[in-house]
Structure 1
Amino acid sequence: MSQQKDLPYQVSERVLCYHGPLIYEAKILKAEYFDSKNASSGVTGQHYYIHYKGWKNTWDEWVEESRILKYNDANLSKQKQIKEMYKSKKSSTNVIMRKPTLDLTTTGTVSAATSNIEKGKKRKRELSIEGKEDSTKRPMITLTVPEQLMAILVKDATYIAKSQMLIPLPRKPSVIDITNQYIQYRREGKGNQTLVEGIMEEVLRGLRLYFDKCLGARLLYKIERSQYKQMKIQHEDLSNCEIYGFEHLLRLFVQLPAIISQANLRSDVTGSLKLYIDDFLNFLKENIKEYYIVDYRKIE
């Protein structure tokens, strides 16, 4: 057990907590340090057992410290901003998102804004994610996620959280397949040809590494965890990038700015990195029909 006086959050404290992409008011019931032996998600470190205000006790759960925010005016404003963004997205895609049943851990604040990057281009949704409260002092990368990809994230949440359906695995094409196809796409002279090929391949290697490391801990909905454990047993020789595909890859981009901010990169480096990731996101948008195969199935 952790010493309460040393923790940033205390038992019985009123807090805000991420549950899926949204933020809810909650109360801390317990605090415990999870080591590698007792962290069911594979995430070690300080955890808190929380109760969401107005929810049944069956929703009480252990969460990572990174999912919790202090209950203050600044974070209440973030909560409202995110809620409004998803309300707007829900209306534009005709998707009903009720109180979520998901456990997709977002480690920071999702904020959206429209931008005109180039004259004549359609407006895109900008997703910037801040980590803990002091992360605003670090250089932050802002990813320009096309509206079409944002809509798929909402639909994905609805199929899984609301309809209790899963994506059949192993997924084809896999994350490995998609990144390899992107490399071939660039070799054919497509995409932003001002980007350096060697650097692009390094960026893709980094994305695959982040995906393999983050999937089990941060990118899964609660009802997907049993499937994840089953896949690791049945396909122990395969990486997460070889098992999962397009839908889970998109979820990584919600996490990516917070992950990158923890690396303490210089602002000029994060600015360059954004150009490479933006080109990859544009490739994903252009290939939605090939990669997004609606094949969700009821849990057996």
Structure 2
Amino acid sequence: MAESEKFRPGSLVLAYHGPLVYEAKVLKFHEKGKQFVETGDGKSEPLNLNRIPKFLSESDAYFLHYKGWSSKWDEWVSTERILELNDDNLGLSRELRNARKTAIERLDHSKKDDEGKSTVEKKRRRNDSSDDKDIVSSQSSADTPRSNGPGRKRTKQESRSSYDIMISLRPQLKCLLVDDWEFMTKDHKLVDLEKCTPVKKILDSFYAYKTSTSKMDALDITREAMDGLAIFFDESLSLSLLYRFERLQYSDLLEKDPNVRPSEVYGLEHLLRLLVILPAQISTTTMDAVSINVLMAEVKELLEYIDDNLDGFVGSYMNASPAYDRLAGGQ
């Protein structure tokens, strides 16, 4: 990022927090290699007075306050999580929110239909054997262009035709995502990474399954799609797939192995977080309609496979230690 493109204290921006994008204000800025932190109005303070996460120590970092949020949620973030505050990126923010709202509304309807079930089934909602599929829809429209990155505006000539990009989620997968959100935001639990079935293994397992049902040319498409998802997962994890409470866990992971591939450590819960926002994410790329349709067809089959074999992939959560809770709250 060029010097002129850096956001200074006082700047209004958009920033990823978990899978959504929110308005925020830059309170502080630390430039890589500097021993001070900019605080605005030409002022600065020593670097050692700031608790910048270790995984951000070798890159530019911004200390943000999210608009309308308590200051306890103020946090240091990487450049990759920040978007310029413009109409393009506000459109992306609305699209992500609408996709999540649709998922929650459809889940509410599913819960009403399940009122006659047992308390245990209501709590975990993972024994539902229904074959009905619920749709989470996210639309990409030429009337609402989106940015490909900070400061990047797409012209009308670059905008592509409108597509309806849909992700099919069966009830128990939607319920798993809602449980995941509650564990993170309300219970302050962490996914137990040591007990996860890694994303890479899940994708490879799906490919192995397809070898018994598909022709060779179709397998080539599946292999390419799964490899692409693994790469996209690795690139997206720190950007948009982690809740604030998980970032210390990720920082500790990088400290142990700076070259670690997230797809070889994180599991189903984080993969689902990616897949549910995938339509909005790929709508900002230059992928053509044919490529998008092929990818989404593979994702649809992948989700059906995961749902049919959920017991072998679902992870578990663990309580964070008091020390972790204290440190994570200060990041």
Alignment of 1:151-190 (within 5 A): 151-189=175-213
SS of alignment partner, residue 64 of structure 2? strand
Alpha-carbon contact 1:212-1:239 (below 8 Å) kept:
yes
What count of residue pairs does the alignment treat as equivalent? 270
- Comparing 206-215 with 60-69, greater Cα deviation is found at 60-69
Alignment correspondent of 2:278:
256
Does residue 277 of structure 1 match 2:291?
no
- The one-letter code sitting in structure 2 at the alignment partner of 1:175 is V
SS of alignment partner, residue 297 of structure 1? strand
Alpha-carbon contact 2:147-2:284 (below 8 Å) kept:
no
Determine the C-alpha separation between the residues in 1 that align with 2:61 and 2:259. 30
Return closer, same or farther for 1:143/1:44 CA change in 2, 3 Å cut-off: farther
Alignment correspondent of 1:144:
167
Q: Deviations over 1:93-124 (max 9, x none)?
A: 77xxxxxxxxxxxxxxxxxxxxxxxxx96442
Alignment correspondent of 1:125:
136
SS of alignment partner, residue 265 of structure 1? coil
Alpha-carbon contact 2:14-2:84 (below 8 Å) kept:
yes
Tell me the CA shift for residue 185 of structure 1: 1.5
- Comparing 131-140 with 199-208, greater Cα deviation is found at 131-140
> Rg: which structure is higher?
2
Tell me the CA shift for residue 137 of structure 1: 2.0
Alignment correspondent of 1:290:
312
Tell me the CA shift for residue 146 of structure 1: 0.8
SS of alignment partner, residue 193 of structure 2? coil
Does residue 203 of structure 1 match 2:225?
yes
Alpha-carbon contact 2:13-2:26 (below 8 Å) kept:
yes
Question: TM-score, normalised on structure 1?
Answer: 0.68
- The one-letter code sitting in structure 2 at the alignment partner of 1:132 is S
Alignment correspondent of 2:268:
246
Gaps of 5+ in 2: 36-51, 112-130, 322-331
- The one-letter code sitting in structure 2 at the alignment partner of 1:161 is T
> Percent same amino acid among aligned pairs?
27
Return closer, same or farther for 1:205/1:92 CA change in 2, 3 Å cut-off: same
Alignment correspondent of 1:299:
320
Question: TM-score, normalised on structure 2?
Answer: 0.63
Determine the C-alpha separation between the residues in 2 that align with 1:9 and 1:141. 34
Q: CA RMSD in A?
A: 4.3
Tell me the CA shift for residue 193 of structure 1: 6.7
Tell me the CA shift for residue 296 of structure 1: 0.9
Alignment correspondent of 2:325:
none
Alignment correspondent of 1:98:
none
Alignment correspondent of 2:102:
85
Alignment correspondent of 1:52:
66
Return closer, same or farther for 1:42/1:83 CA change in 2, 3 Å cut-off: same
Determine the C-alpha separation between the residues in 2 that align with 1:287 and 1:141. 28
Alignment correspondent of 2:46:
none
Return closer, same or farther for 1:67/1:128 CA change in 2, 3 Å cut-off: farther
Tell me the CA shift for residue 179 of structure 1: 1.6
Determine the C-alpha separation between the residues in 1 that align with 2:80 and 2:261. 27
Tell me the CA shift for residue 158 of structure 1: 1.0
Return closer, same or farther for 1:67/1:195 CA change in 2, 3 Å cut-off: farther
Which of 217, 224, 230 is residue 252 of structure 2 equivalent to?
230
